[in-house]
Amino acid sequence: MKSLFTNLFLMSLAFGVSSCSSSSDEVNSQEAVEVVTEELAEEATNDNVFYQMPTPNELFAVLKNSDAPFNKEILNDVSNSGNYLTKFSKALNFGVFIADLAYATSQGSFEDAASLFEAIQSLSKDLEIENAIDQIIFERLKENLENANADSLFYLSNETYYSAFSYLEENDRQDVLGMIAVGGWIEGLNIILNLEPYSEDSEICQRIADQKLTLENLLIFVSDIENDKLTDLVSDLSVIEEIFNEESENSNDESTETEVVNSTNEDGVMVFGGGNSVSLSNSQFDQLKSTVMDLRTSIIEGN
């Protein structure tokens, strides 16, 4: 049986697929997803643990309701892919490029998506995980790029991310898995922090606030991996966690438990998430934007 982490990662993948797919190919996937998520939700509840580890695609699904324009300048330059010489920098930036891919496909930027696919394929070979992303996936990606099929590309970029995670876990390469997870999460958060100015009631700011729970679970996962480089990353992530926690310390809400709560979003899709709503202040937004940008810069520069 797959680990709870993988099961719940697959669950979040399913949510991303069902919320953004529209083609006939994805209809069949969604039907299968409904069966899988029911089984995995039961497993998660029975274990009394809930890890909310969404793919970058789930993070960017919010953009379909946003007027924020596509910002190519915020992507990591694909020419940097040849500058990463260590396993650590390659794995972190594999995650970065996956997040960039999710953002580009969510906005229908096909030219950027094509370049990002090449960078991801190159790094997958360097990391010896090319078997995780088989040729069939790349052929489907190429076909959908040629046909300018944004919905299918968004789905396939999600599938690429999960395939890498599943392969690494099955082959007991938790260190690389953790590095990719951190790189992808930091890049996704950096992108969404730079989409629009702070607005307390905006859906994007709420999505940023929700990353507090995601970070908590990411820290739990990464902290269990014995790797000096990841230990240093945990320290960096803990600084971000402190910024998120500022609101909690000043809040009158005494609840500290996170429950598995099922709800239905506006598209009629079942969503599994934390029961406690999280808010974000202007000060936190500014601190997060600066701190995350600094860490992200260090990552893409290969430091």
Tokens at 182, concatenated:
């951190």
pLDDT of residue 219: 94
Domain residue spans of the chain = 54-249+280-300
CB 276 within 8 A of CB 260: no
Average pLDDT, the chain: 75
Tokens of 13: 């993948």
> What tens digit of pLDDT does each residue of 193-226 get?
999 999 988 999 999 999 999 999 999 999 999 9
**b/e map 211-222, b = 16+ CB within 10 Å:** bbbbbbbbbebb
Cβ-based burial of 22 (10 A; exposed 0-12, middle 13-18, buried ≥19) = middle
Write out pLDDT tens, residues 247-282. Answer: 655 454 443 344 434 344 444 433 334 445 678 999
Mean local confidence (pLDDT), 112-139: 81
Query: Cβ contacts of residue 247 below 8 Å, gap of 6+?
Result: 278, 279, 280, 281, 284
Which pLDDT does position 211 carry in this prediction? 93
The HSE-up count of residue 188 (CA atoms within 13 Å, CB side) is: 31
**What are the tokens at 224?**
């269990």
AA identity, residue 173: R
The pLDDT value given to residue 59: 74
Question: Is pLDDT of 23 > 90?
Answer: no
Residue 117's alpha-carbon distances to 100, 114, 155, 230, in angstroms, are 10, 5, 14, 26
Overall pTM > 0.85: no
pLDDT higher at 140 or 166: 166
